[in-house]
């Protein structure tokens, strides 16, 4: 039997493993960006097919998150966490060893499926480790949240280094030693238990997974195929039909995949909408900021990744040091609204970028403002979404909030990409038109963030007791 680490040390190690999981799950969405041209040359991807090296991961991840949350509740978060890492490891090996596009996309989809098991289980384990101490839980959520932007930036940075000095398969093989280390640590540092009786709603799982996957597919495909194209309309129409069928199935089943009554919990729906819109604003900003640095300012992969480090550092400081204290003083609602408004202001500032601009004037100040806003909004919305659910539905709540953020990211990126393309974002080699397109993208993202702030102001309840009241329900769970 494994030797269990002492309480405090065990919890710290567990938190590091959980943060590493969040880091890796997000890094796997960004690390392949710089490697795509070489993958296209080696594997024979068409220009249209190449984008699905990214999309295959996102579709599988977003489509399977709710099922991952339900399985975590039924079979235990620790067990699902380990299974998820095993699946991610297998997908990474398959993607790295692929010799043609079909196997490459299969490997990426398997990676996404593994991430969909890891993400909700990781949040449930975090609640089990820290839920009995609300202040410690807020700090743990801050570190967990900070791991996401760190993973996104590290992916860009490491992808450039690995592609330049090794070869593109190593952007996938990098996962292998990390997965093996985490699998070895799980029995020692992760709490057991959390299982409960119940059946897997197979029909519900199929309809919601297929519906979400088709919705994400239609959204990410629309900028290329056209929003009125038969392919897009068919995918989105089928997604609506499947999701409507899912709701009907859940309403009639005795033991559903998603208990619809969970959305009657105070603030749960509002917090998930805030997370969805936060993803819809932040991911497009991050995506087009990368393009501006490389295609207008002329940065190569390595300095482009380095240019994002100040923003990442601000996010980590904001999430770990500032957000927990401000939640305790002003409450989660005030911090959510203020953070989203600050994010919108930073994106509006970025919209002033110039074709002959510079990093120090056009990028750094505005990106720091946006990063600070993101860091202040992320933690209170995440904590509210998790603590609003019943204790035995922690995995489900984790799956819902992760799904909200991922689907919001896909929807926002697709819509903002379409807006930017109309304004000239596809005019490679023309810095003036490119800048106009990227500026439009930042304006679109700012509008989404500002809309999120207004909605949060009207829909989130007040929590005058701050972080302690916000996380008290999670403390009861432990």
pLDDT of residue 206: 83
pLDDT classification of 394: cutoffs 50, 70, 90? low
pLDDT at 86: 96
**Co-location of 123 and 252 in the same domain:** no
**Residue 424 CB neighbour total at 10 angstroms:** 17
Whole-number percent of the chain with pLDDT over 90: 28
Is residue 197, in this structure, part of any structural domain at all? Answer: no
Mean pLDDT of 99-122: 90
Q: What contacts 326, CB < 8 A, 6 or more positions away?
A: 335, 376
Residues 227, 272 within the same domain: no
Residue range 245-251: average pLDDT? 89
Same domain, 61 and 158: yes
Q: Do residues 180 and 244 both lie within one domain?
A: no
> How many CB atoms neighbour CB 462 within 10 A?
11
In a domain, 375, yes or no: yes
If pLDDT is split at 50, 70 and 90, which confidence band does 198 have? low
Does one domain contain both 33 and 161?
A: yes
Query: What is the per-residue pLDDT across 412-428, written as a single tens digit (0 to 9) for each?
Result: 877 887 788 788 877 77
What mean pLDDT do residues 444-458 have? 95
Residue spans of alpha helices (H) in 76-201? 77-97, 101-130, 134-165, 170-173, 175-189
Q: What pLDDT does residue 196 have?
A: 64
Q: Look at residues 155, 190, 225 and tell me which one is the last residue of a structural domain.
A: 190
Task: Compute the average pLDDT of residues 339-368.
Answer: 95
pLDDT at 443 over 60: yes
Which is higher by pLDDT, 456 or 294? 456
- Of 238, 256, 274, the residue that ends a domain is 256
Structure token pair of residue 346: 């930073």
Task: Say yes or no: 172 and 319 in one domain.
Answer: no
Q: Are residues 328 and 468 in the same domain?
A: yes
Residue-range definition of the domain harbouring residue 245: 205-256
Confidence tier at 452 by pLDDT (50, 70, 90): very high
Judge residue 202's burial from the number of C-beta atoms within 10 Å of its C-beta, 0-12 exposed, 13-18 middle, 19 or more buried: exposed
Which pTM does this prediction carry? 0.77
Q: Are residues 58 and 179 in the same domain?
A: yes
CATH number at residue 174: 1.20.1250.20
Last residue of a domain, which of 160, 190, 220? 190
46 three-state secondary structure:
coil
Q: Does 74 lie in the same domain as 12?
A: yes
Residue 165 lies in a domain: yes
Residue 338 lies in a domain: yes
Q: What's the mean pLDDT when you consider all of the chain? A: 82
d(CA 191, CA 168): 37
pLDDT digits (tens, 9 = 90+) for 251-263: 888 777 777 777 7
Residue 448: pLDDT band by 50, 70, 90 thresholds? Answer: very high
The answer to whether residues 332 and 407 belong to one domain is: yes
Q: How many domains does the chain have?
A: 3
In a domain, 176, yes or no: yes
Are both 224 and 275 inside the same structural domain?
Answer: no
Residue 45 and residue 179 share a domain? yes
């Amino acid at each position: 039997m494994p030797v269990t680490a002492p309480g405090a040390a065990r919890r710290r190690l567990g938190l590091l493993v959980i943060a590493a999981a969040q880091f890796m799950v997000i890094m796997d969405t960004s690390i392949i960006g710089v490697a795509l041209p070489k993958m296209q040359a080696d594997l024979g991807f068409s220009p249209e097919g190449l984008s699905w090296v990214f999309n295959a991961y996102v579709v599988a991840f977003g489509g399977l998150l709710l099922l991952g949350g339900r399985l975590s509740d039924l079979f235990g978060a620790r067990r699902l966490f380990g299974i998820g890492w095993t699946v991610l490891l297998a997908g990474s090996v398959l993607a790295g060893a692929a010799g043609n596009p079909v196997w490459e996309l299969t490997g990426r989809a398997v990676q996404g499926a593994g991430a969909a098991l890891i993400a909700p289980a990781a949040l449930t384990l975090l609640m089990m480790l820290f839920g009995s101490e609300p202040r410690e839980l807020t700090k743990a959520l801050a570190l967990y949240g900070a791991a996401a932007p760190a993973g996104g930036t590290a992916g860009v940075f490491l992808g450039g280094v690995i592609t330049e000095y090794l070869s593109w398969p190593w952007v996938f093989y990098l996962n292998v030693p990390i997965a093996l280390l985490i699998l070895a640590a799980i029995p020692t540092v992760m709490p057991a238990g959390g299982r409960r009786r119940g059946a897997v709603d197979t029909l519900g799982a199929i309809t919601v997974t297929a519906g979400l996957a088709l919705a994400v597919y239609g959204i990410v495909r629309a900028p290329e195929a056209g929003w009125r194209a038969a392919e897009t309309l068919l995918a989105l129409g089928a997604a609506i039909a499947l999701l409507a069928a899912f709701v009907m199935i859940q309403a009639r089943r005795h033991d559903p995949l998603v208990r619809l009554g969970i959305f009657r919990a105070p603030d749960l729906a509002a917090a998930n909408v805030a997370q969805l819109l936060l993803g819809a604003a932040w991911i497009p900003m991050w995506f087009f900021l990368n393009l501006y640095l490389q295609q207008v300012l002329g940065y190569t992969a390595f300095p482009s990744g380095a240019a994002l480090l100040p923003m990442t550092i601000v996010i980590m400081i904001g999430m770990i040091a500032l957000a927990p204290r401000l939640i305790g003083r002003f409450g989660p609602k005030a911090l959510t609204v203020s953070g989203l408004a600050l994010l919108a202001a930073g994106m509006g500032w970025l919209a002033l970028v110039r074709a002959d601009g510079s990093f120090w004037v056009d990028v750094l100040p505005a990106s720091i403002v946006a990063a600070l806003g993101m860091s202040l909004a992320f933690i209170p919305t995440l904590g509210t979404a998790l603590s609003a659910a019943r204790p035995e539905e922690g995995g489900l709540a984790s799956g819902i909030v992760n799904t909200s953020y991922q689907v919001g990211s896909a929807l926002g990126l697709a819509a903002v990409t379409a807006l930017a393309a109309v304004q000239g974002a596809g005019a490679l080699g023309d810095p003036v038109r490119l800048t106009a397109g990227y500026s439009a993208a930042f304006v679109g993202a700012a509008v989404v963030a500002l809309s999120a702030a207004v909605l949060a102001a009207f829909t989130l309840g007040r929590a005058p007791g701050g972080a302690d009241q916000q996380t008290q329900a999670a403390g009861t769970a432990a």
